[in-house]
């Protein structure tokens, strides 16, 4: 059986994702599609609209065979670490290929750029440092360095090109025997906030249109499969909300207000004295977006600041980041009957434990952080949902489709 990996967040699963999934099957001839998916918090430092379980359900309904969790320690991270964790996990399940969506759509461009990067890493890094000295953000410094290397025509201002390049770099750097492949995204740029296609729209634009409420579900219905719509409805009916940063702000504010600066400095990503700024600006901030706007500088991208806020909220420390550099387990969130057959087939040979009961992970530092993140995610629920959601994290067996 040929397994092909995809790296996803599905926040929420939409027609663009479906297109990517079906093209992946068609182009690779995969017998089994394995998705490694961020948990309750996402790469850009945001809570997922709905839980990992609901998003697993969307994925399985749409035809993914196996969903495994990309742990918090890799998910809420820069493209490099996100990619490294994801590719390692897909390789551990013996995926022969990975297939990612990108704005560029030509895999040779990614491979060439990754090779150049590895050959000229020092030069690239010194260009990045030079640009950072000028006070710009890391993504801009990175794009600037590539421009100066004059070695790629990849547009690195496009977020999916950046992620794609990170996957290919991880594969080459770690010499992982996995073939990368890319599919050109259609119609919508990742960050597009308006609808410009009759059935495809970015997850960002869908979340924006949804406005955290069921009332707007019909607006986004043309852009999502019926199963996503049902799952969203069901989630809202059960929990009374879609998750967004503003709901977590009381906890973030509480934590920043009551933490010492020295404690904030221990949090992953809190560097260069940003803790002063956080402590200073939080006092009068009434909302998350007001807070973000007040701490924003040329040097810090919105995403980087959101990740810092997420790490504070979930108490992810520098020390923990150090202890969690490589995946130590494969956590199964869900599978189809086809996926189950695949796992039966490979499970004796897996290099990492395949985990269906997280109680076995008590002492694993990666899972320690997952637990904290799960609780932070649940903290906004009234009882009994808060306690139940937490039990779900511990007790939910992998979903079956």
3-state SS class at 177: coil
Residues forming contacts to a copy of itself in the complex (CB under 8 A) are: 250-251, 253-255, 257-260, 263, 283-287, 313-315, 317, 372, 375-376, 379, 383-384, 386-387, 390-391
CA distance 110 to 102: 10
CA distance 273 to 42: 25
Q: What is the rounded radius of gyration, in angstroms, for the C-alpha atoms of the chain?
A: 20
135 annotated as belonging to a binding site for a ligand = no
C-alpha closest to that of 45 among 245, 249, 295, 232: 245
In whole angstroms, the minimum distance from the beta carbon of 358 to a copy of itself comes to 13
In whole angstroms, the minimum distance from the beta carbon of 11 to a copy of itself comes to 22
Task: Report in angstroms the alpha-carbon separations of 215 from 196, 239, 368.
Answer: 22, 15, 37
7 annotated as belonging to a binding site for a ligand = yes
In whole angstroms, the minimum distance from the beta carbon of 375 to a copy of itself comes to 4
Place of tokens 């099957």: 25
Q: For residue 400, what are the β-bridge partners?
A: 335
| φ and ψ at residue 4, rounded to 5 degrees | -125, 135
16 annotated as belonging to a binding site for a ligand = yes
Q: Which is nearer to a copy of itself, 176 or 259 (CB)?
A: 259
19 annotated as belonging to a binding site for a ligand = yes
Q: Which is nearer to a copy of itself, 287 or 297 (CB)?
A: 287
Place of tokens 């998350």: 288
In whole angstroms, the minimum distance from the beta carbon of 319 to a copy of itself comes to 9
20 annotated as belonging to a binding site for a ligand = yes
Q: Which is nearer to a copy of itself, 135 or 250 (CB)?
A: 250
CA distance 285 to 193: 26
Residues 158 and 110: beta-carbon distance below 8 Å: no
Q: Which is nearer to a copy of itself, 133 or 258 (CB)?
A: 258
In whole angstroms, the minimum distance from the beta carbon of 246 to a copy of itself comes to 11
Q: Which is nearer to a copy of itself, 190 or 249 (CB)?
A: 249
15 annotated as belonging to a binding site for a ligand = yes
C-alpha closest to that of 71 among 54, 55, 58, 52: 52
In whole angstroms, the minimum distance from the beta carbon of 379 to a copy of itself comes to 4
Task: Report in angstroms the alpha-carbon separations of 17 from 183, 190, 369.
Answer: 11, 12, 28
9 annotated as belonging to a binding site for a ligand = yes
> Please, which residues have CB within 8 angstroms of residue 341's CB and are 6 or more apart in sequence?
1
13 annotated as belonging to a binding site for a ligand = yes
Locate the DSSP E strands across 219-267.
none
Q: Which is nearer to a copy of itself, 48 or 109 (CB)?
A: 48
3-state SS class at 79: helix
CA distance 11 to 244: 11
- Rounded to a whole number of angstroms, the distance between the first and last alpha carbons of the chain is 19
> Please, which residues have CB within 8 angstroms of residue 398's CB and are 6 or more apart in sequence?
332, 333, 334, 335, 356
Q: Which is nearer to a copy of itself, 354 or 385 (CB)?
A: 385
Q: Which is nearer to a copy of itself, 233 or 246 (CB)?
A: 246
14 annotated as belonging to a binding site for a ligand = yes
In whole angstroms, the minimum distance from the beta carbon of 281 to a copy of itself comes to 12
Cα angle, residue 79 at apex, residues 369 and 23 outer, rounded to 5°: 105
In whole angstroms, the minimum distance from the beta carbon of 374 to a copy of itself comes to 9
Residue ranges at the known binding site for ATP: 7-20, 101, 160, 185-186
Residue ranges at the known binding site: 7-20, 101, 160, 185-186
């Amino acid at each position: 059986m040929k397994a092909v990996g995809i790296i996803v967040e599905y926040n929420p699963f939409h027609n663009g994702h479906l297109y990517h999934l079906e093209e992946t099957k068609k182009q690779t001839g995969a017998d089994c599609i394995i998705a490694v998916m961020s948990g309750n918090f996402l790469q850009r430092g945001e809570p997922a609209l709905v839980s990992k379980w609901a998003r697993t359900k969307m994925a399985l309904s749409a035809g993914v065979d196996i969903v495994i969790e990309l742990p918090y320690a890799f998910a809420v991270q820069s493209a490099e670490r996100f990619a490294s964790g994801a590719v390692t996990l897909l390789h551990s399940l013996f995926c022969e290929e990975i297939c990612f969506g990108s704005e560029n759509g030509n895999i040779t461009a990614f491979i060439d750029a990754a090779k150049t990067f590895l050959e000229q890493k020092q030069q690239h890094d010194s260009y990045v440092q030079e640009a950072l000295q000028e006070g710009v953000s890391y993504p801009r410094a990175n794009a600037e360095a590539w421009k100066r290397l004059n070695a790629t025509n990849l547009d690195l201002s496009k977020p999916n090109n950046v992620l794609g390049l990170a996957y290919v770099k991880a594969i080459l750097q770690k010499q992982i025997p996995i073939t990368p492949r890319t599919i050109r995204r259609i119609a919508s740029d990742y960050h597009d906030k308006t609808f410009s296609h009759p059935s495809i729209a970015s997850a960002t634009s869908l979340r924006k249109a949804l406005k955290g409420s069921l009332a707007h579900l019909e607006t986004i219905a043309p852009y999502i499969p019926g199963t996503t719509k049902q799952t969203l409805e069901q989630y809202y009916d059960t929990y009374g909300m879609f998750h967004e940063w503003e709901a977590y702000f009381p906890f973030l504010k509480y934590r920043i207000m009551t933490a010492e600066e020295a404690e904030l400095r221990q949090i992953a990503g809190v560097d260069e004295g940003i803790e002063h700024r956080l402590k200073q600006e939080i006092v009068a901030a009434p909302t998350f977006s007001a807070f973000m706007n007040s701490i924003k500088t040329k040097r810090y991208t919105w995403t980087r600041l959101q990740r810092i806020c997420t790490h504070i909220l979930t108490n992810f420390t520098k020390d923990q980041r150090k202890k969690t550099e490589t995946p130590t387990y494969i956590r199964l969130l869900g599978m189809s009957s086809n996926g189950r057959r695949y796992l039966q087939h490979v499970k004796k040979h897996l290099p990492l434990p395949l985990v269906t009961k997280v109680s076995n992970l008590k002492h694993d530092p990666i899972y320690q952080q997952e637990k904290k993140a799960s609780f932070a995610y649940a903290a906004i629920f009234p009882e009994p949902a808060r306690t139940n959601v937490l039990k779900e994290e511990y007790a939910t067996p992998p979903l079956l489709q």
